[in-house]
A and B are shown apart, each in its own frame.
Chain A
Amino acid sequence: MSGAPEPVIRVDGVSRWFGSVVAVSEVSFDVRPGITGLLGPNGAGKTSLLRMMTGLAATSSGTVTVFGEPVRDNPPLYGRLGVMSEHETVYGFMKGRDFVRMMGRLRGVSALEDAVDRAIDLVDLAAAQHRRMDTYSRGMRQRMRLAATLVHDPELLVLDEPLNGADPRQRVHFKRLLQQLAADGKTIVLSSHILEEVEELADTVLLIVNGKLAASGGFRAIRAALNQRPYHVRVVCDAPRRLAAAALGLPSVDAVHVDPDGAILVLSRNVLDLQIELPRLAQAGGIRLRRVEPLDDSLESVFGYLVER
């Protein structure tokens, strides 16, 4: 029999709402071995989704299975998971090594001291392991938390904004470590609101916007999908009617509307071209652009990135 192997995580029609607020809406995807990046701006629903994927939160509708089993209220399954939440709180009174040891004991690790040594070596914190964690820098706390996440050698790692607080050197170390773990056959899901981080690390990207799966696949596919999304861009200039008329002739522009306040609202499915063509058009017509801004706030960071590129 042939076909793709069973996904490590299957998210099927998952929604989650808090009262009248919808945090995640009808999201479906599979996660397979390798590094998968969950990308989206702050407040997009990434953390809610990760919490449902690890059984920490219930779904309002839909199902999440991990290794073929429902993840919610399934403690035996948790031994195969390593989860690092975005919250950086640690037991400040505890020494780093004691924390990793405790997490290992809770997860039933045999040969505990060896496992603790290995985990702390992986994050390169052996020199600080006997210090209380309230003396650690933010980056050190994150690394010791990662050691505690790795101590039981989990098959699946779920990391929520793992690079928060890390300095450039630590980021490089962290990325190498994750790539090594992925090469060893682990499945890693990491979330980030920084496009560059995900681009460098992830084989597969899940783009979450406003609680919905906006796009998924390889990074190039995501970029292409993003470029085809319609964007509303507000333009303020010194000759709005003239620019609006001219802009209608641009291939990157689908529609133009002039507001009563004199601002132009441009609808485009190709912002990359628009950000090149519009200034050229204005320059050619001797029109001064005062302000160009995307109106789809939830996509602002992605839009900004694309414009900068």
Chain B
Amino acid sequence: MNGNEWAVEMEDLVKMFGTFVAVDHVSMQVGKGEIFGFLGPNGAGKSTTIRMLCGLLTPTSGRAHVSGLDVATQPEEIRRNIGYMSQKFSLYDDLTVEENIDFFTGIYGVPKAQRAPRKQYVLEMANLTERRRSLTRTLSGGWKQRLALGCAILHDPPVLFLDEPTSGVDPIARRAFWGLIHDLSETGHTIFVSTHYMDEAEYCHRLALMYRGKVIALGTPEELKNGLTSHSLLNLESSDPLETMRALEGLAGVLDVAVFGGGLHVTVDDPASTSVRVRQSLAAKGIEVRRLEQIQPSMEDVFVAMIETEERSAA
């Protein structure tokens, strides 16, 4: 694959800390202008992968390219072509909004002619024009996070790495933040973003699901949901959820039962025939079925199902 066609490319990327394999032979590609979501539980190896792509960690083996530049041999060039937002808030609290912007403008070497317009753009994007002289310490979480994003894109990098940018931010600020990410993607920027909020996965063009250092699923949100084609999901509401669970256990065609809100999510292989059997079995036990319908699995269902499959195959 030619490096110019992909914004980010990984081939058998491995990172070991002592004997612990943090990233285990990861191979994937991210296209230009894509919003690429990186999902997985804490400790799955998402941050380690992102840090390798930013040149902050040296891969143990394998290769990775960002904007066609080799992570191992061209870290200097990569740093000029990426923006990075680490998990921890990483601006200077004791500097004002403007001073933070000026500092990053300086170290990214933004050309003189572009300095004023870029600063203006970032202030407007983060909605901080009126608070430009406030100490960063006094800003709330959502503002800080937008300022951090602004400082990471001052040099207009083609590729952006965001490591759990929305952790600890309220839902309204999170939505506004994803709006900014979309705008950036529309102007041709590639965004590589990790998160553990399932609802945010739906905002991404494509997703990779990482678990214990491995990528266990890769595709668009639709593909991942339809990836469970051998199984279907039924939403079941009954008069006695606890008894219902017992009744369904071991019933032919039922693969898994999980409590979900006030009802149950039942994973089955054939929805039509199993539905009939479920109704019969529950009627025999005197449990009233209030609702039984096939539903589209949510990202969370997909996520849990895939990790369970992975664990079963590992055991």
Q: Do these two chains interact? A: no
Could you list which residues of chain B lie within 8 angstroms of chain A, going by C-beta atoms?
none
